[in-house]
Structure 1
Amino acid sequence: MVGKRAGSGTKTLEAKLVEHLTFQARRARREDLGTITRTCLVEAARMLEARLVPVTTQPAAITGSAARWAREGIALETVLDAYHDGVRIGLEFLTEQAAGEDADAVAAAAGLIVRVLETVTTATLTAYLDEHRQVAREQQTAAQTLVSALLSGHGVAHLARRAGISVAASYQVVALAIPAHPDERRPGMGAPSAARRKLRRVQAALATPLGSRALSLLSDEGGTVLVPIDEISAVTSLALTPEVLELIGEAAEVPLTAVVTFGDTGRIPELAGLAQELLARLQADGRPPGLYRLADLPDCDGLQQARRPVVTSPNDHRITRSA
């Protein structure tokens, strides 16, 4: 550590700093965010004091508190501001004490407070990211389970309640084909990794134009997307349009093909099956990428008649609801 150590009977400026931070933590209101962050600063300072090498482990008090705050929805910037307030208290104390100390002692204490700030910031950011990733995984699993139920037509209401996702009365049903990215075909480029990256780009690109209630069940080759129709309004159009498909394709870095139709929620299994069947037929026929519309399906004549859909050109930007 920078600086000279005083004799055993004399407290170093670093030790005085830790004592001051401890005193300030005890003065703060109990269970207040500021109290907890100042207590965490003290723990980090005690852990780092008198160490010449960086500490690789993160204090459990910091990571545990940060994870709890993340679950409770407390903004990360609020937590970091509280830590910075505590660090400012330490710096003010060092300024007051500097006149009676030599330069090495002040440098050592200042170095300690910098390392403390680095430790609490890194630990808090890591805990927040870990917690948000866990929540995102849970939400994704719940959404995928719900879309599977919608596609099968069974257990929808129960799963929707468990997932906390409301089910719309009708949906835009989209069969989506995602071709292989050029990186997936290059030898030695890691095709599985390239496919996963492509899929993540598609999933991220879907979120903004289609809204948070849009559901998807996708692999790196494609799948089904369900967009609630009751989210569509004159102000905000939440639907898969040719323009939206083009944006998603740009994110995926490959041209996409989609077959789209509309229908009541109870008809999702039928509509999804027909859309996927037509999508496979279009690909087999070598049709160009783009958005294709499945014509309105009759409700009373069964699947035999419904298997003769009308497909619009990918350049047709007009999408209408089915009956």
Structure 2
Amino acid sequence: MNTHKEEPLRLGGQAVDDWLARRYERLAAELVDGFAATIPIYGRFPPDLRRDILWITRHNLDMFIGMLRQRQAPSAEDLAPLAESASRRAEEGVPLADVLTAYHQGIRVTWTQCASLATPDDHDDLVSVSTLVFEYQQIVTSVVATAYAEERQNILGHEREARRALVTALLDGQPAEELAERAGVHLAPGYLVLCLSFGSAEDSDGRRAAISDRRRVRAVASVLEVWPHGQVLTILDPHGGTALLPIKATEPGRTDAISPAERASLRESLAALDFPVLAAAHLSTIERVPVVHTTTREVVDLVERLDYPPGIYQLADVLLEYQFTRPGPGADVLAELLAPLERGTELETTLETYLRHDLSRNATAAALNVHPNTLDYRLNRIARLTGLNPSRQSDLHKLTAALIARRHTLG
């Protein structure tokens, strides 16, 4: 700080800087006692931490006295201890609101004591002191909040990395106990393995789309955090991801199917989002997480490729579709049955709609906005081209399987 000294600011005939300097030790102790009395977490600080607070309070008084004398802001070197102190409070888990409350309370009490000296003749100097008080508060608030936020971001980054490494180990079947300890996570005996797909935001503005993508990830993570049985572990990106929701030990004989109550709870949570989500979920012991995760991911990929509506699916919900789309010559032969129907034509759409409406002529015609006779004509053309009649029960299973295999193979 510049050593040039301005003419002292006087209140009640006394130089304010000298008056504060004489009360320096007593005022610092009074301020720290005040923090402990009015800010609950400060009242619980151990003696060594209380000494730290006393030291930084004295340093603040030193800087403010210097500001009164020099009429200029503290230097970066003078402010560095405030940033270091804020970083330590962040590391210790002291809420930022409480840290800033202590600073603002200290500034207010100091200002109140200075202002109590003023007389009606001190208007100009009182305004000058007030201006310096407000400037000092603005400076220290910015320094403290910035340092605190940077340290918290650093801490959260390390925590996220540790949890991501833990989830990766669980999904890969690798030892996870040491990683769990490092991440501060208690491993559950079992997990509900949840695979999600919500797609990235569609926006021609790349920056706006990126913001929307990050918002989606945060929103999904937030709704999953309310899971009542423990800490949820996630790996999420703008397109989807995986969540491991802890459960109690699985009951003897219980399958990997989730209960109606569990499905309803998940459905309610995901329904709160303002964008559609496809999900697949199965229960697993911690040892079987890799195997169950593979199946669950396959299920959510399947329903996405088949263009099924948003919801929570399990293997039992799409058992035939899953089996029909397993890689191999069988799936290829099934898909080839519909080769005569060009992709995306009205005949393919007609067949899909007919099957979706449980073979109802009237419902299908209404959905396609055509006359029932037109529908009959199209169904007959499908039969002639493929050799499989949609109205014949023996051919219907092949058509259904072929359509599923085709949609999965071609996307």
**TM over 0.5, shorter chain:** yes
User: How far 1:196 moved relative to its partner?
Assistant: 3.0
Residue 206 of structure 1 aligns with which residue?
224
| SS, match of residue 273 in structure 1 | helix
* Residue of structure 2 in register with 1:153 after alignment: 173
1:144 aligns with 2:164: yes
Give % identity. Answer: 26
User: TM-score w.r.t. structure 2 length?
Assistant: 0.60
Give the SS at the match of 1:275. helix
Secondary structure of 1:102's aligned partner: helix
Q: How does 1:279-290 map to 2 (within 5 A)?
A: 279-290=300-311
Q: Per-residue deviation at 1:24?
A: 3.3
Matches of 1:20 and 1:121, distance apart in 2: 26
Q: 1:215 aligns with which of 230, 233, 239?
A: 233
**What residue identity is the alignment partner of 2:92?**
E
Counterpart of 2:315, as a letter, is L
Residue number among 112, 117, 121 corresponding to 1:97 in the alignment: 117
Bigger Cα Rg: 2
Whether the aligned pair in 1 keeps the contact of 2:56 and 2:81 (CA below 8 Å) is: no
Deviations 1:46-94 (A, max 9, x none): 5534566666848111111111122122343443343344324422332
C-alpha distance in structure 2 between counterparts of 1:197 and 1:112, whole Å: 40
Q: Relative to structure 2, which stretch is displaced further, 169-178 or 121-130?
A: 121-130
Cα displacement string for residues 219-258 of structure 1 (whole angstroms, at most 9, x for unaligned residues): 21111110000299xxxx98861111212xx2xx420000
Q: What does residue 286 of structure 2 align with? A: 265
How has the CA–CA distance of structure 1 residues 267 and 245 changed in structure 2, closer, same or farther, with 3 Å as cutoff? same
1-structure distance, mates of 2:205, 2:7: 63
Amino acid paired to 2:67: L
Give 1:219-230 correspondences, 5 Å limit: 219-230=237-248
Once residues 41 and 63 of structure 1 are traced to their aligned partners in structure 2, the CA distance between those partners, rounded to angstroms, is: 12
Provide the alpha-carbon RMSD of the alignment: 3.4
Find the aligned partners of 1:37 and 1:146 in 2 and give their Cα distance. Answer: 39
Deviations 1:130-163 (A, max 9, x none): 2222221111111111000000011212211222
1:314 aligned partner: none
Say if 2:63 is the partner of 1:38: no
Cα distance in structure 1, aligned partners of 2:147 and 2:262 = 34
Q: CA distance change for structure 1 residues 53 and 16 in 2, over 3 Å: closer, same or farther?
A: closer
Most deviating of 264-273 and 127-136 = 127-136
| Counterparts of 1:123 and 1:231, CA distance in 2 | 49
Correspondent of 1:48 among 45, 67, 77:
67
Give, in whole Å, the separation in 2 of the partners of 1:124 and 1:211: 37
2:24 aligns with one of 22, 25, 41: 22
> Equivalents in 2 of 1:245, 1:7: separation in Å?
64
Alignment of 1:114-125 (within 5 A): 114-125=134-145
Q: Structure 2 vs 1, CA of residues 128 and 211 (structure 1 numbering), >3 Å: closer, same or farther? A: farther
1:90-139 Cα distance to aligned partner (Å, 9 max, x none): 22332332139632112212222222222232322222222222221111
Is residue 2:298 matched to residue 1:277? yes
CA distance in 1, matches of 2:287, 2:53: 52
What SS does the corresponding residue of 2:284 show, helix, strand or coil?
Answer: strand
Q: Aligned residue pairs: how many?
A: 282
The structure with the greater share of residues assigned to helix is 2
Tell me the distance in 2 between the aligned counterparts of 1:158 and 1:63. Answer: 33
Question: Distance in 1 between the 2:188 and 2:8 partners?
Answer: 74
| C-alpha distance in 2 between matches for 1:115 and 1:217 | 44
Question: Letter of the aligned partner of 2:7 in structure 1?
Answer: A
Pairing partner for 1:110 from 108, 119, 130: 130
Structure 1 segments unaligned to the other structure (5+ residues): 297-303, 308-323
- Give the number of the structure with larger relative contact order, counting CA–CA contacts within 8 Å between residues 6 or more apart: 1
Q: Which residue of 2 aligns with 1:245?
A: 270
- TM-score, structure 1 normalization: 0.74
